[in-house]
């Protein structure tokens, strides 16, 4: 059923365009219903998944390589599967209304469903390479969705940036996973031997490469730049891919491999430090934005950093809870932002206001989600934030660093949350701006935001329903113990009796609210700091991209410079060097036969004629004369062939020379005298190249003659030509029978060459038609 | 080229060369020759004709579009390997039958390699002649243009 769920999603993705063409309204509802049903199935089996190490399903794929379609549904997988299916279904529903007037709604639904299949495969896969396949598929579908509005240059640019960044990380990840498989002795993730990996010499490179993959995917500093730009995608995509699921693939990967890889130095400390930096940087940059979606994007970067940091600190419970909380409130806020922009055409939250009266349902959902994001009790966000602060406080080594970071980021997040979720609804509109309220969001746009806001409230009030089992299951997957822990997430227990964490949490709320109130002053004050961003990695991305293009152009100009003389020179030199090296290792001058001794007078004359024709060829003033001389060389060769008992070769040589001469005459008839002669230096160089080439090959031929005659092939052909091939002409029997396959390939090439000449020189019409007219 | 000698001799040479090319093709299995040389000989004959009377006249003499010859030749050569598949042998394995027509001094052997060679002949003729014609026409166009 696990593999079946993927197949069902993929089939739905393939059918989506057709369904939406039949009926945009009903078709999109059908597409959205499929992941909802799958979500129901995952809920039904959640009990099995959360007990012990879950359940597995394996299909044989490439048994020789040890790669199977292995799936395992455990606590971590089931949580992600539920997020993907349930949020995904709501997002599809939302998109059917959000993009209702877009002619490409069908393909959008299809790609979004295909993404869900890829993401689901990623979290269910229990094989390192299978996981990687799905990992790359999510990158590709993300690329397609960011660039969905492909007529805008900015969208195309952002999608390429996301693809290149995550693709680069994907390459590193592939190398890391292969090394991990070799070090761990198996491709099956659940059977990886942590002790073997930790002792392996490959441990450090594996950790670096896998983290590189995870950090690019999850937009961790210094790769955080692509995620805000990915907001060029339609809002449903931002909600599903770029906050709830895909960008969490990096977090998922780290969590999944944590039992195997967790260890000091590279793994834990990279996660803690870079995660912490990303957490603060993202939260700060979020408060500097003036567009709803960009604020949310940077705050997502901050949350991803928080999750990575928590995994590095070993705080599995806090990470699991915060992951769940974040997916719930951030998905809701992205959809609200999309609806607001669609209804008003406005992106700047400071130009929005007083919208509670316009749409109280949307406003209510937004406010609850924003409060959850800010960490207000009794919502699930409060529980998450409390646990994050506690994890920072209780860490033996990094307590100060982590706590300061968490509180600063927390305060800034409060400000961002108020700006996005509360400002447009509760406060008065900015003076002078006249707000329109064009496309009021219908039920399809409201369902998921309201549901997510409600889930945030229920999860906070009654965590025993789903939050506690899911978090427990995730913790079991993240930590090596794999025994589902007893998890308590009661908000009042965190609030009372008050602790340092409670105090810090309240302080963050207060500071954040104050910053929000005096945000104009705050923006002016932080301006100089924000300006430092132009020195950041986004610049590096542009620089590297420009550099690669520049190098490619340069090296093409050198390697493919269009000069036939250079090409020939290089080819001859390479062949000379290779053959010369081989000769220098095996050539024994004493063993060379006396090649000149037994030549007859006729042969001598022919060879003199050959040399004379060749010499004459290079002395000519016109191309035509040169070709005539070269033909002379060919004809003398043909006579030599005939004399040495190769009449077939001689005949063919004659015919080819004749035809070649005709063709050359046709081509060269109009060419003028050689006017553009090369300089003296180049001519000397060419003489040298030609001389060395000739001498090397002369020696080569003599050396071949001197060697032991390996005549087994020749004898076989001679003996079998009549009985096997019914022909006395061995050459022909070889061509049409023994080696007919080679001949078939050769005549194919000849045909292609003829058609190639025809198409290159005759771009218009056909001469049959012209002749008839 | 407007040489009368060249034109007259070409008119005699072309049938002769074509006959020789066919002889060369069919005797190839036992004597020097074969489809490749035969095709080249035939193409040379048509090339001579094209030089003497123009490529349009040569095309009209050949009657068949050389592009069609390329396709037909490849089809015959590739197809000649299929009968051996049908009797369970490897692709392109030669199959022979011996005919004893009345009046022939010795039995006549006919086999798929012969068909293969005919395919080679047609393809080589088509490809070489197509190149000659295309270049010849290109030259004419260049003349008109200048």
Contact A771 B59 (CB under 8 A): yes
Examine residue A185 and state whether it is found in any structural domain, yes or no. Answer: no
Residue from A663, A754, A766 to probe the interface with B (highest B Cβ count within 10 Å): A754
pLDDT of residue A534: 65
Given the structure tokens 């931002």, which residue do they identify? A238
Query: What does the pLDDT read at residue A592?
Result: 62
Burial of A712 (0-12, 13-18, 19+ CB in 10 A): exposed
Is A314 contained in some domain? yes
- The candidate with the shortest Cα–Cα distance to A466, out of A49, A13, A35, A17, is A49
- Those residues whose C-beta lies under 8 Å from the C-beta of residue B39, and which sit 6 or more positions away, are B21, B25, B120, B121, B122, B123, B124, B125, B128
Q: pTM for this one?
A: 0.70
Distance CA A701, CA A689 (A): 18
* Cβ contacts of B65 on chain A, cutoff 8 Å: 768
| Residue A236 domain flag | no
How many domains, chain A? 1
pLDDT, tens digit (0-9, with 9 covering 90-100), for A191-234: 888 888 888 888 999 999 999 999 999 999 889 889 999 998 99
Nearest Cβ partner of B34 from A648, A663, A725?
Answer: A648
User: Between β-strands A55-62 and B108-111, what pairing exists: parallel, antiparallel or unpaired?
Assistant: unpaired
Chain A (607-636) residues lying within 8 Å, Cβ to Cβ, of chain B: none
Query: Is residue A72 classed as helix, strand or coil in its secondary structure?
Result: strand
Contact B135 A666 (CB under 8 A): yes
Task: Tell whether A732 lies on the interface with B, counting CB pairs under 8 A.
Answer: yes
Q: What is the domain range of residue A339?
A: 289-517
Chain centre distance of CA A216: 10
Residues 6+ apart with CB under 8 A from A397: none
Q: Say if residues A444 and A97 touch (Cβ distance below 8 Å).
A: yes
Q: Is residue A60 part of a domain?
A: no
Please check whether residue A261 is in contact with residue A202, taking contact to mean a CB–CB distance below 8 angstroms: no
Do A729 and B29 lie within an 8 Å CB cutoff?
Answer: yes
A731 chain-B contacts, CB cut-off 8 A: 32, 34
Tell me which chain B residues have a C-beta less than 8 angstroms from the C-beta of A655.
37, 40-41, 44
**In this complex, do A744 and B77 lie within 8 Å of one another by their Cβ atoms?**
yes
Q: Cβ contacts (< 8 Å) between A747 and chain B: which residues?
A: 73-74, 77, 119-120, 123-124
Asked if A651 is an interface residue toward chain B (Cβ–Cβ < 8 A), one would say yes
Asked if residue A23 is part of any domain, the answer here is no
In a domain, A403, yes or no: yes
The partner residue sitting opposite B44, judged by closest CB among A650, A658, A761, is A658
Q: CB distance from A535 to chain B under 8 Å?
A: no
Cβ of B96 and A758 within 8 Å? no
Residue A665 lies in a domain: no
Q: Is A649 on the interface with B (CB under 8 A)?
A: no
Give the mean pLDDT of B103-122: 84
Interchain proximity B32–A755, CB inside 8 Å: no
How many C-beta neighbours within 10 Å does residue A351 have?
A: 16
Segments of chain A with pLDDT less than 50 = 768-773
> Is residue A55 classed as helix, strand or coil in its secondary structure?
strand
Please give the Cα distance from A438 to A424 (Å, whole number): 16
pLDDT band at residue B27, thresholds of 50, 70 and 90?
Answer: confident
In chain B, whose CA is at the least distance from the CA of A747? B120
| CA A396 – CA B7 distance, rounded (Å) | 103
Q: Tell me, yes or no, whether A460 lies in a domain.
A: yes
Question: Does the beta carbon of A662 lie under 8 angstroms from any beta carbon of chain B?
Answer: yes
């Amino acid at each position: 059923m696990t593999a079946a769920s993927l197949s069902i999603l993929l089939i739905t993705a393939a059918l989506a365009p057709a369904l939406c063409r039949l009926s945009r309204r009903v078709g999109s509802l059908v597409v959205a219903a499929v992941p909802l049903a799958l979500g129901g199935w995952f809920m039904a089996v959640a009990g099995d998944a959360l007990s012990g190490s879950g359940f597995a399903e394996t299909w044989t794929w490439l048994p020789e390589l040890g790669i199977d379609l292995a799936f395992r549904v455990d606590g971590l997988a089931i949580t992600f599967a539920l997020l993907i299916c349930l949020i995904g279904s709501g997002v599809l529903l939302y998109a059917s209304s959000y993009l209702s007037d877009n002619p490409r709604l069908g393909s959008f639904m299809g790609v979004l469903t295909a993404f869900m299949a890829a993401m689901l495969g990623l979290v269910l896969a229990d094989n390192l390479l299978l996981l990687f396949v799905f990992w790359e598929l999510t990158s590709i579908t993300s690329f397609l969705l960011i660039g969905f509005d492909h007529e805008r240059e900015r969208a195309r640019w952002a999608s390429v940036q996301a693809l290149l960044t995550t693709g680069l990380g994907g390459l590193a990840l592939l190398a890391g996973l292969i090394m991990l498989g070799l070090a761990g002795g198996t491709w099956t993730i659940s059977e990886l031997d942590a002790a073997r990996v930790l002792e392996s010499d490959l441990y450090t490179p594996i950790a670096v490469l896998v983290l590189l993959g995870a950090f690019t995917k999850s937009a961790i500093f210094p790769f955080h730049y692509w995620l805000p730009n990915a907001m060029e995608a339609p809002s449903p995509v931002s909600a599903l891919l770029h906050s709830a699921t895909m960008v969490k693939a990096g977090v998922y990967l780290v969590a999944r491999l944590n039992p195997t890889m967790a260890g000091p130095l590279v793994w834990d400390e990279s996660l803690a430090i870079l995660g912490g930096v990303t957490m603060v940087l993202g939260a700060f940059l979020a408060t500097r934005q003036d567009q709803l979606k960009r604020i949310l994007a940077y705050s997502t970067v901050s949350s991803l950093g928080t999750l990575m940091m928590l995994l590095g600190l070993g705080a599995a419970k806090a990470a699991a809870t915060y992951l769940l909380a974040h997916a719930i409130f951030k998905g809701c806020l992205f959809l609200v932002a999309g609806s607001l922009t669609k209804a008003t055409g406005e992106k700047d939250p400071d130009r929005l206001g007083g919208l509670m009266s316009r749409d109280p349902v949307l406003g209510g959902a937004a406010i609850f989600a924003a409060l959850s994001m800010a960490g207000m009790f009794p919502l699930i966000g409060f529980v998450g934030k409390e646990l994050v602060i506690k994890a920072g406080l209780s860490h033996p080594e990094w307590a100060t660093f982590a706590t300061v970071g968490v509180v600063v980021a927390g305060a800034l997040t409060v400000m961002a949350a108020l700006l996005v979720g509360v400002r447009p609804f509760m406060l008065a509109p900015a003076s002078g701006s006249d707000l329109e309220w064009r496309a009021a969001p219908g039920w399809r746009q409201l369902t998921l935001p309201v549901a997510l806001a409600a889930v945030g409230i229920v999860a906070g009030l009654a965590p025993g329903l789903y939050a506690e089992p899911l978090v427990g299951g995730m913790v079991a997957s993240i930590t090596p113990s794999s025994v589902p822990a007893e998890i308590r997430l009661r908000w009042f227990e965190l609030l009372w009796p008050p602790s340092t964490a409670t105090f810090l949490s309240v302080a963050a709320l207060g500071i954040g609210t104050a910053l929000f109130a005096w945000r104009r002053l705050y923006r002016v004050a932080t301006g100089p700091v924000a300006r430092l961003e132009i020195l950041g990695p986004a610049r590096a991305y542009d620089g590297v991209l420009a550099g690669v293009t520049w190098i490619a152009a340069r090296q093409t100009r050198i390697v493919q410079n269009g000069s036939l003389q250079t090409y020939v020179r290089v080819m001859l030199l390479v062949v000379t060097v290779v053959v010369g090296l081989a000769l220098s290792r095996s050539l024994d001058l004493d063993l060379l036969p006396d090649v000149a001794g037994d030549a007859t007078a006729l042969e001598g004359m022919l060879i003199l004629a050959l040399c004379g024709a060749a010499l004459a060829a290079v002395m000519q003033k016109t191309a035509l004369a040169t070709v005539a001389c070269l033909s002379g060389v060919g004809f003398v060769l043909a006579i030599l062939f005939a004399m040495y008992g190769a009449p077939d070769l001689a005949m063919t040589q004659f015919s080819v020379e004749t035809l070649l001469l005709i063709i050359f005459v046709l081509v060269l008839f109009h060419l003028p005298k050689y006017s553009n002669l090369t300089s003296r230096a180049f001519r000397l160089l060419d003489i040298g190249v030609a001389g060395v080439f000739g001498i090397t090959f002369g020696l080569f031929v003599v050396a071949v003659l001197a060697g032991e005659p390996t005549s087994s092939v020749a004898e076989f052909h001679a003996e079998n030509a009549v009985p096997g091939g019914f022909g006395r002409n061995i050459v022909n029997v070889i061509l049409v029978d023994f080696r007919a396959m080679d001949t078939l390939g050769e005549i194919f090439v000849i045909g292609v060459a003829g058609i190639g000449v025809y198409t290159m020189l005759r771009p218009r019409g056909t001469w049959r038609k012209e002749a008839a007219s | 080229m407007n040489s009368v000698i060249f034109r007259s001799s070409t008119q005699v040479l072309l049938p002769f060369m074509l006959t020789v090319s066919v002889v060369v093709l069919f005797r190839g299995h036992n004597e020097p020759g074969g489809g490749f040389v035969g095709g080249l000989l035939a193409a040379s004959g048509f090339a001579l004709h094209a030089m003497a009377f123009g490529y349009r006249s040569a095309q009209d003499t050949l009657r068949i579009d050389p592009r069609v010859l390329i396709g037909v030749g490849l089809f015959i050569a590739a197809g000649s390997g299929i009968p051996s598949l049908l009797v369970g042998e490897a692709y392109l394995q030669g199959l022979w039958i011996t005919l004893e027509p009345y009046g022939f001094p010795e039995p006549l052997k006919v086999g798929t390699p012969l068909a293969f060679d005919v395919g080679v002949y047609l393809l080589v003729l088509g490809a070489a002649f197509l190149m000659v014609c295309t270049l010849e026409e290109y030259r004419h166009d260049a003349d008109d243009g200048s």
